[in-house]
A and B are shown apart, each in its own frame.
Chain A
Amino acid sequence: MTVDLAEIARYMRMGRAVPDGALAERVVKLRDEGIASMRPARVWHRFPIEDNSLGPVGMRLEISGKLARHMCGCHAAYLVCGTLGAGFDAFQRRASISSGVDALVVQAIGAALIEKFMDSTENDIRMELSPGETLIKRYSPGYGDFPLSAQHTLLNLLDASRRVGVALTDTLLMVPSKSISAVIGVKKGEEQK
């Protein structure tokens, strides 16, 4: 897995501009080091949706508010969690020590890589769907009114700390920091573009 300069540039808030010259060289070097230091891992599990929630008794994940509107018509959902791993975080800490440029660039590389990794994970999940089923856009705790506190339930349902090494801090941040968790609804019908 890799990402190109334009993808990284977007996460450096460069809009449509693409790095060139010395900056491009720097980005490519750091990207290659970053890819060498990451250890992507992901886990997902499918749950039926019943009474606007999912999961076993005692550990139900509520689907309400904007998330419920987003998931309207879904009969099931995948919970998913992916991470670039602790090695990428260590690389990012190291890069941030000596240079502000490196700090910024590595941050962007990490963001681009984890997004791409989650996209490819979604593609793999799609392979599991029954005929006539489709995935809707993934939705993460912290978006809209889907509370960050839902992270606890979401990650516990996936046994994420044991399976992929993703844990929560007291302040509900996921660690390693380049990690994404989400709910992806499953509904009948064609995929919406």
Chain B
Amino acid sequence: MKEFIADRSRIFFLDGGMGTQLQLKGLQPGEIPELWNVRRPDDVRAVHEAYFAAGSNAIYANTFGANPAKYHGDVPLADVICAGIGIAREAAARSANVSSEPRYVALDVGPTGRLLKPSGDFEFDAAYDAFAEQVRIGSAAGADFIVVETMGDAYELKAAVLAAKENSSLPVVATVALGDDGKLLTGADVECVAALLEGLRVDALGLNCGFGPDRMLEHVRRLAAATTLPIVVKPNAGMPQIVDGCTVFTVGPEAFAQDVMALIDAGASIVGGCCGTTPAHIAAVVEHLRGESSRLASLTSRHAGNERTVVTSGSRAVEIPFNDTLIIGERINPTGKKKLRAALTEGDVAYVLREAVAQADAGAHILDVNVGVPGLDEPIVLDATIQAVQSVTDLPLQVDTSDPKALERALRHYNGKALVNSVNGKEESMSSVLPLVAKYGGAVVALTLDESGIPPTAEGRIDIARKILARGAEYGLKPADFVVDVLCLAVSADANSANVILEALERVRTELGCRTCLGVSNISFGLPARPLLNAAFYTMALDRGLSAGIINPLSSDMMTAYRAYRALTAKDAACGGWIESFGNWSPADKTVQSCSPKAGSEGQSSSSDAESALSAAIRRGLKADAASATREALADGMAPLDIIAHGIVPALEVVGKGFESGKMFLPQLLMAAEAAGAAFDVVRAAMPPQAAGDVKGPIVMATVKGDIHDIGKNICRALLENYGFKVIDLGRDVSPEAVVAAAKREKARLVGLSALMTTTVGAMEQTVKMVHDEVPGCQVTVGGAVLTAEYAAKIGADNYSKDAMGLVRYAEKLFTTGRIAGETQRMVRLKEE
């Protein structure tokens, strides 16, 4: 069977539409098609037999929706699947009598109809379990192979393919349904899908449904360029049209077959039809190909393709180039980062996510995620952090851990095909990491060190890389699956370090044909002015062919080096990237210039001018102006504490009162608070460290279990932070246990919960009760669209706030320390970090 799928010297014919055929026999909209396996088996079998008679080599059993997450019929699921496979087998047996062609039966696995996290609430593991049950029943019932089809979400696709591979030994074929824009519903394009499925080692991949064969052509061409696996096509009989209130497909068998020929020319070797196609459509395709050996001959030599190194997220494919370079953002790694370490320990997801978004905005192409903090349960925290980061960025991630358990769990739940950091030449590392990469897919960073350490010469490092590649080949990994890191050692410790690295970089390229990556900033360890040295070395490494620099994308020196290198080596078309980044550059200053007029005229500027400029900027919500007015006030000699007491706080007070009296609206209040936050940041930088005392907070916030609407909570968090509170944001859909654990750990005096829907208020009530029971002295404040003060009281909450400002007022009352003192402490704390 596997050989038959892989054989590109012939066309493997699949069947056509099943649902539309059953509808012709009386299936109603909303009716469960799989129930016909039990109730009207003769009708289902007749459809299969008609396809075999038309020339199909394989048919899909009527099990598309027969997974426990979707199926809700009154006949047991196993009976429906077994009957479906049984009917298909009968049809295959009967047809085999009339022809010697092989006749295969596929277990058809369609989507669950649920949306996985982060867009929905369905857990990856739950989707996996649903598919696994279907696969176990279907393969035991006698399917020859498994098709995963019509998938609209790459993450669900991964769950289905993993379930198929882990719960049967049958060949697995996977196809997806593209939308009009050539993407899945959740955004993945064909390159993304191809990389994911190749990584998961399916036997064939392709497209079904979505549109007719004419419009499928361009996508098949792209697919052929992106994969070396056999390509499956199952197009619809054109686009659905509504005629007299009914959905009809208008492309007839002859026209369909004509267009399918073009798909075969583009590389497809496994061919069938989807919605609206009939046995006549399949027969027409078979007829067209009879005797067309030249058409088939070209297939065998097709898309042998150049090997590419591609990693993906759920919606974006990124190629690690051989002749260009890209940036891996290094900032989500707690080594030497106190603030990040604290955030990871406290479960402050929002902090980590802000780091992710900032790096993406700055131009990173891949983000490294490392959560190695002593004392943390790395498998759990890495998994959770990766899922959270993937919810706010579509960049592929570099899963960075030395713990194989953490790696496996993270790779399993990762949405896409990850970059794995890392394997090294030690036997222990190779034997634990390489099988995981082979199983889950991925490109893997190969560190050139082994049991005897890091070789001092380029030659020694190349040898280790060679050893790792050879070992990888035993697991089916190709050189393109590796990105070699020749290891950056400080030039302060070894004067020749940079020379060795540069030589090794070049030789990995030319002698091994591999891409490279490098943690560039290690080079300057122990020396002053590190950013300057890093940028210079980065340029040198780029010039020697570095494929991926692991750098800080928020460093303007590094980003300038990157952009300059690409502009100077003809990699930046018409210097477009350079111009976009530096079009407004002026030689005067690297910092953002304020355009606000300076308060007061020369020599006459006074504290009160600065104050009023600051106050106006805050009231009008002008972040940059607020920051520059604060800088001016400091320059004019105003004391930091005075700026807070006489500039920032009164302005916030005015805005808060304006909001409460209905003169200002929420967006304006939030804008003002952000401007105040920017002013705080400037003052903070100018403050001397002082003795610590009480801080305002922390406040633990969460959107309750089952609820995914977290806008209200996010607004409250932002406003509280701008008012100087420390907030631990646990995110959304948070279990009562997690809230209690955080409240205990943080010794929080206040927990804030939000719920939007009546269906989730139950979870809120449970959380309130649990906090009260288990965290004595901790108050709970609640809010959300469906809540009222009465209802909040009924479920035992200590406070209800109808809006974010109300919550700030309540929190200020609760944390009775004076405002000025509180602000001071906040700044001291932040400064320390």
Interface residues in chain A, defined as those with a beta carbon under 8 Å from any beta carbon in chain B: 12-15, 17, 19, 21-23, 26, 39, 41, 45-46, 55-59, 85-87, 89-90, 92-94, 96-101, 103-105, 107, 128, 148, 153, 156-157, 159, 161-162, 164-173, 175-177
Q: Which of B119, B709, B757, B760 has the most CB of A within 10 A?
A: B119
Chain A positions within 8 Å of B668 at CB level: 23
Asked whether, in the complex, the Cβ of A13 is within 8 Å of the Cβ of B666, the reply is: yes
Q: 12 interchain pairs (CB within 8 A)?
A: A21-B620, A56-B28, A87-B315, A100-B804, A104-B715, A167-B115, A169-B121, A169-B122, A171-B707, A172-B759, A173-B759, A175-B121
* Residue of A19, A59, A86, A100 touching B119 (CB-CB under 8 A): A86
Asked whether, in the complex, the Cβ of A89 is within 8 Å of the Cβ of B119, the reply is: yes
Asked whether, in the complex, the Cβ of A97 is within 8 Å of the Cβ of B621, the reply is: no
Number of A-B contacts (CB under 8 A): 176
Known: A101-B670, A128-B242. 10 other contacts (CB 8 A): A45-B29, A96-B714, A97-B354, A97-B392, A98-B354, A99-B674, A100-B718, A104-B715, A153-B30, A169-B706
Chain B positions within 8 Å of A26 at CB level: 671
Bound together, the chains give a CA A169 to CA B756 distance in angstroms of 14
* Contacts known (A13-B665, A90-B394, A107-B711); A100 close to B350, Cβ less than 8 A: no
Chain A positions within 8 Å of B760 at CB level: 171
10 A-B pairs with least C-beta separation: A100-B718, A56-B28, A165-B185, A169-B121, A59-B30, A167-B115, A175-B120, A171-B759, A161-B113, A101-B670
Nearest residue (CB) in B for A164 is B185
Nearest residue (CB) in A for B759 is A171
Asked whether, in the complex, the Cβ of A157 is within 8 Å of the Cβ of B30, the reply is: yes
Report the minimal beta-carbon distance from A41 to chain B, rounded to whole angstroms: 7
Nearest residue (CB) in B for A61 is B30
Chain B positions within 8 Å of A89 at CB level: 119
Chain A positions within 8 Å of B353 at CB level: 97
Chain A positions within 8 Å of B714 at CB level: 96-97, 100, 103
Bound together, the chains give a CA A14 to CA B29 distance in angstroms of 43
Interface size on B, residues (CB 8 A): 66
Task: Mark each residue of chain B from 174 to 216: 1 if its CB lies under 8 Å from any CB of chain A, else 0.
Answer: 0001010101011100000000000000000000000000000
Is residue B391 contacting chain A, with contact meaning CB distance below 8 A? Answer: yes
Chain A positions within 8 Å of B350 at CB level: 97
Asked whether, in the complex, the Cβ of B671 is within 8 Å of the Cβ of A170, the reply is: no
Report the minimal beta-carbon distance from A169 to chain B, rounded to whole angstroms: 4
Is residue B719 contacting chain A, with contact meaning CB distance below 8 A? Answer: yes
Asked whether, in the complex, the Cβ of B30 is within 8 Å of the Cβ of A56, the reply is: yes
Report the minimal beta-carbon distance from A37 to chain B, rounded to whole angstroms: 9
Asked whether, in the complex, the Cβ of A100 is within 8 Å of the Cβ of B757, the reply is: no
Bound together, the chains give a CA A56 to CA B26 distance in angstroms of 11
* Residue of A23, A46, A93 touching B621 (CB-CB under 8 A): A23
Asked whether, in the complex, the Cβ of B30 is within 8 Å of the Cβ of A87, the reply is: no
Asked whether, in the complex, the Cβ of A12 is within 8 Å of the Cβ of B666, the reply is: yes
Bound together, the chains give a CA A47 to CA B753 distance in angstroms of 42
Asked whether, in the complex, the Cβ of A58 is within 8 Å of the Cβ of B759, the reply is: no
Asked whether, in the complex, the Cβ of B119 is within 8 Å of the Cβ of A128, the reply is: no
Asked whether, in the complex, the Cβ of A86 is within 8 Å of the Cβ of B621, the reply is: no
Bound together, the chains give a CA A80 to CA B29 distance in angstroms of 14
Bound together, the chains give a CA A105 to CA B708 distance in angstroms of 18
* Contacts known (A14-B665, A46-B245, A172-B759); A100 close to B670, Cβ less than 8 A: yes
**B707-732 with Cβ < 8 A to chain A:** 707-711, 714-719, 722
Chain B positions within 8 Å of A103 at CB level: 711, 714-715, 718
Name the prevailing secondary structure of the B interface residues: loop
Report the minimal beta-carbon distance from B189 to chain A, rounded to whole angstroms: 12
Asked whether, in the complex, the Cβ of B357 is within 8 Å of the Cβ of A58, the reply is: no
Is residue B114 contacting chain A, with contact meaning CB distance below 8 A? Answer: yes
* Residue of A23, A57, A165, A169 touching B667 (CB-CB under 8 A): A23
Report the minimal beta-carbon distance from A152 to chain B, rounded to whole angstroms: 9
Chain A positions within 8 Å of B119 at CB level: 86, 89-90, 175-176
* Residue of B354, B620, B707 touching A22 (CB-CB under 8 A): B620
Is residue B622 contacting chain A, with contact meaning CB distance below 8 A? Answer: yes
Asked whether, in the complex, the Cβ of A94 is within 8 Å of the Cβ of B187, the reply is: no
Is residue B460 contacting chain A, with contact meaning CB distance below 8 A? Answer: no
* Residue of A13, A46, A93, A165 touching B186 (CB-CB under 8 A): A165
Asked whether, in the complex, the Cβ of A157 is within 8 Å of the Cβ of B718, the reply is: no
Chain A positions within 8 Å of B667 at CB level: 12, 14, 19, 23, 101, 104-105
Is residue B673 contacting chain A, with contact meaning CB distance below 8 A? Answer: yes
Asked whether, in the complex, the Cβ of B152 is within 8 Å of the Cβ of A162, the reply is: yes
Asked whether, in the complex, the Cβ of B113 is within 8 Å of the Cβ of A162, the reply is: yes
Is residue B84 contacting chain A, with contact meaning CB distance below 8 A? Answer: no
Report the minimal beta-carbon distance from A7 to chain B, rounded to whole angstroms: 14
Asked whether, in the complex, the Cβ of B114 is within 8 Å of the Cβ of A167, the reply is: yes
Chain A positions within 8 Å of B710 at CB level: 96
Nearest residue (CB) in A for B717 is A100
Chain B positions within 8 Å of A100 at CB level: 670, 673-674, 714-719, 722, 804
Nearest residue (CB) in A for B27 is A56
Report the minimal beta-carbon distance from A88 to chain B, rounded to whole angstroms: 10
Bound together, the chains give a CA A15 to CA B668 distance in angstroms of 13
Is residue B55 contacting chain A, with contact meaning CB distance below 8 A? Answer: no
Chain A positions within 8 Å of B279 at CB level: none
Task: Mark each residue of chain B from 95 to 122: 1 if its CB lies under 8 Å from any CB of chain A, else 0.
Answer: 0000000000000001101110011111
Is residue B832 contacting chain A, with contact meaning CB distance below 8 A? Answer: no
Report the minimal beta-carbon distance from B70 to chain A, rounded to whole angstroms: 8
Asked whether, in the complex, the Cβ of A58 is within 8 Å of the Cβ of B757, the reply is: no
Bound together, the chains give a CA A17 to CA B353 distance in angstroms of 33
Is residue B309 contacting chain A, with contact meaning CB distance below 8 A? Answer: no
Asked whether, in the complex, the Cβ of B717 is within 8 Å of the Cβ of A167, the reply is: no
Chain A positions within 8 Å of B709 at CB level: 173, 177
Asked whether, in the complex, the Cβ of A170 is within 8 Å of the Cβ of B706, the reply is: yes
* Contacts known (A22-B671, A86-B187); A171 close to B666, Cβ less than 8 A: no
Task: Mark each residue of chain B from 659 to 680: 1 if its CB lies under 8 Å from any CB of chain A, else 0.
Answer: 0000001111011011000000
Bound together, the chains give a CA A149 to CA B118 distance in angstroms of 23
Q: Which of B666, B706, B711 has the most CB of A within 10 A?
A: B711
Is residue B833 contacting chain A, with contact meaning CB distance below 8 A? Answer: no
Asked whether, in the complex, the Cβ of B718 is within 8 Å of the Cβ of A161, the reply is: no
Asked whether, in the complex, the Cβ of A56 is within 8 Å of the Cβ of B391, the reply is: no
Bound together, the chains give a CA A82 to CA B295 distance in angstroms of 43
Chain A positions within 8 Å of B673 at CB level: 100
Report the minimal beta-carbon distance from B651 to chain A, rounded to whole angstroms: 15
Bound together, the chains give a CA A3 to CA B400 distance in angstroms of 43
Nearest residue (CB) in A for B668 is A23
Asked whether, in the complex, the Cβ of B150 is within 8 Å of the Cβ of A162, the reply is: yes
Chain B positions within 8 Å of A164 at CB level: 185
Q: Which of A19, A89, A162, A172 has the most CB of B within 10 A?
A: A162
Q: Which of A39, A57, A175, A177 has the most CB of B within 10 A?
A: A175
Is residue B31 contacting chain A, with contact meaning CB distance below 8 A? Answer: yes
* Residue of A98, A161, A173 touching B757 (CB-CB under 8 A): A173
